[in-house]
Amino acid sequence: MILIKSKKEIDFIRESNKIVAETLQLVKHNAKPGVTTLELDKMAEDWIRSNGGVPAFKGYKQYGTIDFPGTICASVDEEVVHGIPGNRILKEGEIFSVDIGVLKNGYYGDAALSIAIGEISEDKKLLMKVTEESLYKGIEVAVVGNRIGDIGAAVQQYVESFGFSVVRDLCGHGVGIKLHEDPQVHNFGKKGTGAIIKNGMTIAIEPMINMGTYKVEILGDGWTVVTADRKPSAHFEHSIAIFDGKTEILSVS
């Protein structure tokens, strides 16, 4: 069931997403060669808590594995999403993907971005650029009267025109009262399919785009999603609201 939010609820979801966006910028600013992902995780947690929020991913339960231990998901190069922050030291040339969720006043925000660590290769630059642009291609068609499937179709068409691939096993989602609500927002598919987009919907769109195969695997820690061919991946995510006939990106500072 897709939850329809009131203006007041969207105001709260915007507030949580603003903290998410600020925290992403803080991490981006500090993500340099020599820094560990755990140091960035601590910085993020402090910022969120000092703004009255709670890290939404910390303690997240997933059947059969440990609860997610971090504030941020920290995924490097072939790690697509859900990397666990730790002692890994960031190195020049890596793609560092950071995903952050915040809970405040009972409402969730969720967004992500990929960061270039120092100078990165031209093909990694293109992968990051195309992934970010594909998110905006998806947002562009997330308007009243269109369908949820239009989003994935727009993302997929754009990404594949560059020869990159769309991860199939993970998707975007409704967001706000829970971290993950209906509908599932796939990053691939057919135009004209899925639920009709209506005023009051709040959704997170999050293309995960691979340089090589779209296939992924999960590492032994039960969380880290990696590309099957170990080629690099990028991830960008925004939470958006559709209200009063307009589409607004909520995860901005």
Interacting residues with Co ion (CB under 5 A): 110, 204, 206
For 10, the 3-state DSSP assignment is helix
Pick the closer one to ligand MF3 by CB: 57 or 96: 57
Q: How far apart are CA 224 and CA 245, in angstroms?
A: 38
* In the block, residue with structure tokens 């000092």: 50
Joined together, the tokens standing for residue 18 give: 């603003």
Pick the closer one to Co ion by CB: 93 or 180: 180
- Smallest distance, Co ion to C-beta of residue 173, A: 6
* Residues in 104-133 that interact with ligand MF3 by CB under 6 A: 110, 112
Distance of CA 97 to the CA centre of its chain: 9
Pick the closer one to Co ion by CB: 39 or 182: 182
* Residues in 4-43 that interact with ligand MF3 by CB under 6 A: none
Contact pick of 15, 16, 40, 68 for ligand MF3 (by CB under 6 A): 68
Q: How far apart are CA 230 and CA 210, in angstroms?
A: 10
Residue 142 falls in which region: left (phi positive, over 0), alpha (psi -120 to 50) or beta: beta
CA distances from 62 to 85, 185, 221, 228, 234 (A): 17, 19, 12, 21, 23
Q: Which does 82 bind (CB under 5 to 8 A by kind): Co ion, ligand MF3, none?
A: ligand MF3
Joined together, the tokens standing for residue 171 give: 């998707």
Q: Which does 238 bind (CB under 5 to 8 A by kind): ligand MF3, Co ion, none?
A: none
Joined together, the tokens standing for residue 164 give: 């990159």
Q: Which does 68 bind (CB under 5 to 8 A by kind): ligand MF3, Co ion, none?
A: ligand MF3
Contact present, 123 and 211 (Cβ < 8 Å): yes
* Residues in 162-191 that interact with ligand MF3 by CB under 6 A: 173
* Residues in 71-90 that interact with ligand MF3 by CB under 6 A: 73, 82
For 232, the 3-state DSSP assignment is coil
Position 158 contacts ligand MF3 (CB under 6 A): no
What single string gives the DSSP state of each residue in 112-134? EEEEE-SS--HHHHHHHHHHHHH
Pick the closer one to ligand MF3 by CB: 141 or 204: 204
Amino acid identity, position 72: I
Pick the closer one to Co ion by CB: 31 or 208: 208
Contact pick of 22, 78, 79, 99 for ligand MF3 (by CB under 6 A): 99
- Smallest distance, Co ion to C-beta of residue 146, A: 20
**Which residues would be at the binding site for ligand MF3 (CB under 6 A)?**
57, 60, 68, 73, 82, 99, 101, 110, 112, 173, 206, 237
